[in-house]
Structures are given as C-alpha cells and as structure tokens.
Structure 1
Amino acid sequence: MFATALPASHRQDPPVNARPRLSIVIPTYNEGPTIRALLDYLRQATAGEVGLEIIVADAGSTDDTRQRAQREGVTVLTCPRKGRAAQMNHGARQTTGELLYFLHADSFPPPNFLHDLRQAHQQGYASGCYRLTFDHPHWFLRFSAWCTRLPLTAVRFGDQSLFVRRELFEQVGGFREDLLIMEDQEIVRRLQARAPFRLLPRAVTTSARKYLDNGVYRLQGAFTLIAGLYWLGVSQRRLVGLYRKLIKQDKL
C-alpha cells in the first residue's frame, strides 16, 4: 500500500495534468535559530513556483522567530492556542492550496520535493509522508531513521512531514487539538483508513538536537515509553507530565 502503484480501481484520480496549488504550513514556537535556514532552503527549492504559499503558524514565540520569518516574506500567523495540532489546524484554515504540506521548523524536505508531492497526488494518493534521516551520523539514529521505511503507523512521526489533500483533511476533521502528544500518528491512522497513503521513497532530514541534548538512548527510551502508554490509553494529562519530566528543552 505504501510503496507500490495502486490498482486503477482503488485510485482517486485527479484531473489529467492537474497541478494543485500547494500550501506549506510550519508550526513554530521559539524556532529563531532554525526558521530562517528552513525558509531560505524552501525559497531556493521552490524558485519559480507559481501559486505556492508558505504559512508560519506561531504559538507566541518569546524569541525572534516571528521577526525572522516575516523578514523572509512569508505569512506569519499568531495562533490562539499553543500545540502543534492546534497550530497546524489554524494555519491550514488560512491557506488556499488544494494540497497541504505540514512541515516542522527543523525538518528539511529533499530537493525537488514539490515534484514528489504532485506526482503522488496525480497517482491517486490522498496523503503521505517521507522517510526520515537525521543530521547526525550516530549509528542508532541511522537505525531509527531506517525503520521509518517500514509500513507501520508506529513509525510515522511529524518530523517526516505530511502532505494531504485539503478535501480529505477537512473530511477527517484535521488534527485532534486535544492531543499535545502523538497527534502525528493519530491523524495518519485516520487518513490511512479513508484513502490511499503514500510513503515517499526519499527522506526528510531532521535535526538531532533533542537527541544530543538528552542523550540518544535516553531520549529514544522516553519516546518509546510515552508511545507505549499512549497506545495503552493513558491520558494526555499524564503523558504530558511524563514528557516534561523526562525530556529536556521540550516545547509543550
């Protein structure tokens, strides 16, 4: 389902030669050190594109995130609620694109990524994401990144970015704003249940900074524990409390 072409009877084919308008939504909170680099990269990677919009959905950053993003000429929104799910929903409501692309501020899609997204759209996929790689060579991070090629919802993370047709995004009700943790896996599960999902064959490069700050094995252990408790039905309140206790420099 993830990497092979779909039978014609299962496709949701867009019009021939369709070139959907694309909107990129980037949730931020105190991302001053990284947002300019990402926006510079996106400008170069999308040079000459017509109809592309980039929206930074900021949750009241106390650093210079907003100012840096505004200097790059993108639309910067102040979100009424903090939390990636709420921010991404708020940003999506302000977009005009037929295809939405949610991207973290410290994750860089591969060159020519717009071609990948539009090709997947034309092939009938209604949503999907990239594989993952880290900007650090630690062997365990390389192994963790390799695991993202597996067709399992358990290895779908927000750092991999997410594209989705606006119509489908609205049909499933967007991200669940009551989730501060695991909102990424939760929406992927609902998207997969409604329409074909594409795991793209290339990778987003994301920052290893949180792993380096917390210790690679320690942080992975914390993430695994929290994910396991989530799937066992532990409340968000308890998960958030555990997250804040175990993980340094969190932004919840």
Structure 2
Amino acid sequence: MQLSIIIPTLNEEHNIVRLLKHLSRAPKIHEAEIIICDGQSEDQTREVVGHWKVKVVNCERGRAKQMNAGVERASSGILYFVHADTLPPLSFMEDIQQALDGGYDLGSYRFRFDSDKKLLKINNYFTRFNKMWTRGGDQSLFIRKDTFQALGGYQEEYVIMEEYDLLQRAKTAALNFKIMPKDIVVSARKYDENGYLKVQFANLVVFNMFRLGCRPQRILNMYRRLIDYRS
C-alpha cells in the first residue's frame, strides 16, 4: 500500500528521532513516504531529520498550515497524519488498509499514555468510543487524499483544535469513521508539566468554546492562559 505519512514538527529534535526509528521497524515501511513539515523549529529538528530518508517541508508555523503543506507534497492517495511525540502500532499500514477495504473513509487509533498514572488510564479508556470529545490529533488520522481535499483540508484559521474542525465536517458529510482497536502511545508530558486536573479543566473549557463557535485564536489564547501549551 502506498501511504504518505505526514508529521508536523516544532522543536521536536528528540521525539522525531524516536518516532522515525519506530516507524523504520514497521512492516512494508518502504512502500510509504515520510513527510516532515517543520514550523520553523529553533532546535536541531531540521538537522536531525536530514539524516533520514524523508521529505522535509519548511513552512509557516501552525499545525493546520504545516499539515496542509505536507499534503501538497504527498504523492500517495492515502494520507496518515502523525504527531511527533506519538508511537503508532507497528501494524499501522495493514490496519489502515483493512479499514479502507472495509468501507471506512477515515479513522484513528485509541490512545495510551506513556505513563502508569491511574488517572491517565481513565482518559485511555474513553478513546475507544466514537464521540467528538474523545478524539484528538494525538490519536493520528488516516484519510484518503481526495476525501481530505473534498472536505477542504485543515482550516488554517484553526490555530488549535484543527482536527476537531475537520472531524466535525467529516461527520456532517456522513463519512464512515473507524476507531482502530489498537493503541497509539502518546506522550504524557502536558500532564506531567501542568498536572492532571489543570489539563482536564483546560480541555473542558476549550472544547466547550469550540462547540459554541468561538474564534480559534480566542480558544488558543484561553488555553495558553490555563496551561503551558506548545503549538
């Protein structure tokens, strides 16, 4: 299966190496292309990815803008968006192919934090349910390129919660969404740096702001007031 793996980065010199090493162990990874979309990192991200067989796109900062730029460079008809601080199951190419063959238009994994803290396991559990509030970019996203383009891609004014906006449009279009029954490993650094209750409260606030139709920049400003957030 031909696949374009699109990874937005911003100051991820350590995580991106870990992710690329992980992806290199996936079966049939030679059939995929990896596109690193860097949003003007100020560390060594661009230098370290230069040692790997990947496409590097230097673009304006902002995940939506970065991922759209990656799509423009993608040569495959199937896209897979992955955050730099995550580790997908090594079976992801087979999983995506099976989901597409099964009639699904797009989908993601459940997630599991790289932490044994009990409260985080509650979050892990709820990602098996297909509800908007249980989704997020950390869970990765596969979608056909033509479907992505028909939806209008990521709306670049969404400087935060860009994946929720895309998934909301996919839901409105009655597309079939697949939650793959395996876990993608997600960094718990946001919780480690801010505390569980603080992050949960911030997530609740901004999710409700999104539902109420608040401007994306206002949502981002609020999130940054509530927690230490890297975007």
Q: Sort the TM-score into its range (normalised by shorter chain).
A: over 0.9
Distance change >3 Å, CA 49–CA 110, structure 1 → 2: closer
Q: Tell me, in whole angstroms, the C-alpha distance in 2 between the residues paired with 1:75 and 1:64.
A: 16
Q: Is the 8 A contact 2:159 2:217 kept in 1?
A: no
Distance 2:30 2:90 in 1: 17
Q: Is the 8 A contact 1:32 1:64 kept in 2?
A: yes
1:169 corresponds to: 148
The aligned residue for residue 234 of structure 1 is 214
Instruction: Tell me the equivalent position of 1:85.
Output: 64
Query: Which consecutive unaligned segments of at least 5 residues does structure 2 have?
Result: none
Aligned: 1:209 with 2:209: no
Q: Of 160, 170, 177, which residue of structure 2 is paired with 1:197?
A: 177
Deviation at 1:196, TM superposition (A): 1.2
Structure 2 contact 13–44 (Cα < 8 Å) conserved: yes
1:55-204 to structure 2, matched below 5 A, reads 55-79=35-59, 81-194=60-173, 195-204=175-184
Structure 1 residues 169-222: Cα deviation after superposition (integer angstroms, max 9, x where no partner):
010011111001111111112223332111111111100011100111111111
Question: Which protein has the larger Cα radius of gyration, Structure 1 or Structure 2?
Answer: 1
Check whether the contact 2:23–2:29 (CA below 8 A) recurs between aligned residues. Answer: no
Is residue 112–residue 124 contact of structure 2 (8 Å, CA) maintained in 1?
yes
Please give the alpha-carbon distance, in whole angstroms, between the structure 2 residues aligned to 1:49 and 1:106: 19
- Of 198, 216, 225, the residue aligned with 1:218 is 198
Query: In structure 2, how many angstroms separate the alpha carbons of the residues matched to 1:236 and 1:116?
Result: 33
Output the TM-score relative to the length of structure 2.
0.96
- How much has 1:151 moved relative to structure 2? 1.6
Amino acid paired to 2:116: P
Residues 55-78 of structure 1: per-residue CA shift (max 9 Å, x gap): 000000000011111112211110
Which of the residues 38, 56, 64 maps onto 2:19? 38
- SS of 1:26 mapped into structure 2: strand
Deviation readout 1:94-147 (Å, 9 max, x if unpaired): 001111000000011012111100111111111111111100011111101111
Percentage of matched positions with identical amino acids: 38
Paired letter, 2:160:
I
User: Between Structure 1 and Structure 2, how many residues are aligned?
Assistant: 230
Q: 2:183 and 2:172 mapped to 1: Cα distance?
A: 24
Distance in 2 between residues matched to 1:129 and 1:25, nearest whole Å: 14
- State the alpha-carbon separation in 1 of the partners of residues 29 and 166 from structure 2: 29
Please say if 1:25 is aligned against 2:24: no
1:38 and 1:167 mapped to 2: Cα distance? Answer: 27
- Residue 51 of structure 1 deviates from its aligned partner by 2.9
Mapped partners of 2:4, 2:108: distance in 1: 15
CA–CA separation in structure 2 for the residues paired with 1:49 and 1:143: 32
Report what 1:12 is aligned to: none
